[in-house]
């Protein structure tokens, strides 16, 4: 047993973060093993596995950043890029999962007749580029897919350019804000396409609890992004200070972000137990439906 009384606050923080990483891995591996045991629909469950691995990946990468908290700016940019590139893949896989639930295949040009012609209502600022109301067809579904997948391409390209420019010493503040703006527009467009898709097919998707599934993804993105912005503001206004610590304000900010992510990923890995439960593939749902029919 480890005697916590002999440890300093920094060591206790690292141990606590490590414990959180192990917890998120435990809950995720538990859910992963259940899906592998009830391997009934590979197309859907492959997407689910990629999605649920998001929480432990974020926790692990954040823990690595915490261990090497005195790392360079390029190192932290690389760690953030790993998380955000995976985020881009998860968003794309989530849309693919929704398409699978509705038997839509863009590559196979398959769109069920019963969903063709539905109205898609666009809101500002998308109405600057699209009519406010469009009717659902193959082209519009393909467009929603492209709006999602553009982030999968733009995110890694921006990451490579950001790291390369930092290493070359050609990364002024205005360029950093430019990349931030590009990435924010890109991820907003990807998330917007998911929201539009959900509103159009909310009724058909209801049995698959899409909102809970989406909130698990959106929650991770939301907390990581906005708490990072909040910590940045607190540092600029002098609330976060180095004081007697041997780290500068920027590294303290990075450490706080990494600690918070490690803790939050435990919460999201637990929520995923409900949102991505393997019951639809285990036969339990069919048994319940048959039982309900007998009772009726």
pLDDT in tens, the chain (296 residues): 566 667 677 788 889 999 999 999 999 999 999 999 999 888 899 999 999 999 999 999 989 888 877 767 777 778 888 888 888 888 888 888 888 888 877 766 667 777 777 778 888 888 888 888 888 777 888 888 888 889 888 988 988 898 888 888 888 888 888 988 898 888 888 888 888 888 888 888 888 888 888 888 878 877 777 787 788 888 777 777 766 556 677 778 888 888 999 999 999 999 999 999 998 888 765 555 455 545 55
Please choose, from the candidates 181, 182, 115, the residue with its C-alpha nearest in 3D space to the C-alpha of residue 144.
115
For residue 284, the model assigns a pLDDT of 62
pLDDT computed for residue 288 by the predictor = 54
| Integer angstrom CA distances of residue 249 from 76, 174, 212, 246 | 14, 21, 37, 10
pLDDT of residue 269: 94
Q: What is the C-alpha separation between 101 and 132, in angstroms, rounded? A: 26
273 vs 155: CA distance, rounded Å: 28
Return the DSSP state at 210: H
Cα-Cα-Cα-Cα torsion 273, 279, 285, 288, nearest 10 degrees, comes to -70
The per-residue pLDDT for 220 is 83
Instruction: Name the pTM for this structure.
Output: 0.81
> What's the pLDDT at 77?
79
Q: Which two tokens stand for residue 84?
A: 């955000």
Q: How many CB atoms lie within 10 A of CB 153?
A: 12
């Amino acid at each position: 047993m480890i005697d916590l009384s002999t440890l300093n606050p920094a060591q206790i923080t690292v141990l606590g973060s490590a414990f959180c990483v192990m917890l998120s891995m435990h809950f995720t591996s538990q859910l992963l093993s259940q899906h592998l045991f009830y391997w009934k629909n590979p197309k859907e469950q492959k997407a689910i596995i990629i999605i649920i691995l998001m929480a432990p990946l974020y926790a692990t990468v954040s823990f690595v950043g915490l261990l090497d908290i005195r790392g360079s700016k390029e190192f932290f940019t690389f760690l953030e890029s790993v998380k955000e590139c995976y985020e881009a893949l998860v968003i794309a896989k989530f849309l693919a999962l929704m398409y699978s639930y509705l038997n839509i295949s863009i590559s196979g040009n398959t769109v069920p007749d019963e969903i063709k012609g539905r109205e898609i209502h666009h809101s500002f600022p998308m109405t600057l580029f699209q009519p406010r109301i469009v009717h659902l067809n193959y082209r519009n579904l393909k467009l929603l897919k492209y709006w999602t997948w553009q982030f999968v391409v733009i995110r890694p390209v921006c990451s490579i350019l950001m790291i390369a420019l930092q290493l070359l010493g050609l990364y002024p503040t205005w360029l950093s804000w430019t990349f931030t703006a590009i990435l924010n527009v890109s991820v907003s467009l990807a998330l917007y396409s998911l929201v539009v898709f959900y509103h159009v097919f909310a009724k058909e998707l209801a049995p698959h609890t899409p909102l809970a599934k989406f909130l698990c993804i959106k929650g991770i993105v939301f907390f990581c992004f906005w708490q990072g912005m909040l910590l940045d503001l607190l540092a600029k206004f002098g609330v976060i200070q180095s004081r007697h610590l041997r780290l500068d304000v920027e590294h303290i900010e990075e450490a706080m972000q990494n600690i918070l992510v490690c803790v939050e990923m435990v919460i999201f890995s637990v929520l995923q137990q409900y949102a991505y439960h393997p019951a639809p593939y285990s036969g339990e749902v069919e048994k319940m439906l048959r039982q309900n029919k007998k009772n009726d």
